[in-house]
Every structure is written in C-alpha cells, then in structure tokens.
Amino acid sequence: MRIFYLNRIEDRSGVSGTGCVAQGVEFDNGKCALTWLSEISSVAVYDKIEDIEKIHGHGGKTQIVFTAVIDDELPRAAKEVWEPEHTELATPIRFLSPLTSPVPEEKDEQERQRLLR
C-alpha cells in the first residue's frame, strides 16, 4: 500500500489552488482512493493510479507524489488479531440498514452474512 498526494503546480481552473490539493492511497490490488483538500471535499475510488494521472494530471501540471509505503507486515499482523481464538476481544459490529436505524440484534448475523457476500 502506498500513500501519495497530488501536487498541483498550476491551477488552470482556479478552483483547487496549487501545492498539495489532494491525498490518496494506492492499495495492494492497484485500486486507489483520493480525497480533495478543498473547502467542499469529496472522496473517489479509481481502478488504478494511471487513471488519476489521466484525469487530474493536466498534462504534467499536477504530479502524483508518493510519501510512504506501508509494509506488508501490517496486514498480516492485523489478520492475526482476527483469528477465531481472538474473537472475544473484538466488539461486535452493528450494521445499519440503508433506510432505517440499527438492524435488530436477532438480524445482525443475517445482515452481516449478506454484506460479506
């Protein structure tokens, strides 16, 4: 996993400004998430880093600058915490239905299974 930001050298539109205008992460599967550091922020997901460059690079006027690489050891360590013998340490997650408040407890497991598919 790699962490990056968009460094805008020239703001052609006059909207986002120059310098560090967005932050992002490139996941191990190649997908990327990008969030804008503007007054009205948004988050978008892209299939690959090249898509971000094509859409937001403006012919070299905005650069993708990688700042950190997250070591592969972190995901393995996180997986170990969630092994079955450690489940008593985890707080149960309550899932929300898209149109209502929290799902009744007797339906939590069914909803969890549905969301995991």
What is the rounded CA–CA span in Å between residue 111 and residue 28?
28
Q: Is 45 left (phi over 0), alpha (psi -120 to 50) or beta?
A: beta
Q: Where exactly are the structural domains of the chain? A: 2-69, 82-116
- Which distant-in-sequence residues (6+ apart) come within 8 Å of 63 by Cβ? 6, 7, 9, 57
Q: What's the confidence (pLDDT) of residue 109?
A: 64
What is the rounded CA–CA span in Å between residue 24 and residue 48?
12
What is the rounded CA–CA span in Å between residue 14 and residue 66?
24
Q: What are 56-110's pLDDT values in tens digits? A: 988 888 999 999 888 765 555 555 555 555 444 444 444 444 444 444 454 566 6
Band of pLDDT at residue 115, cut at 50, 70 and 90: low
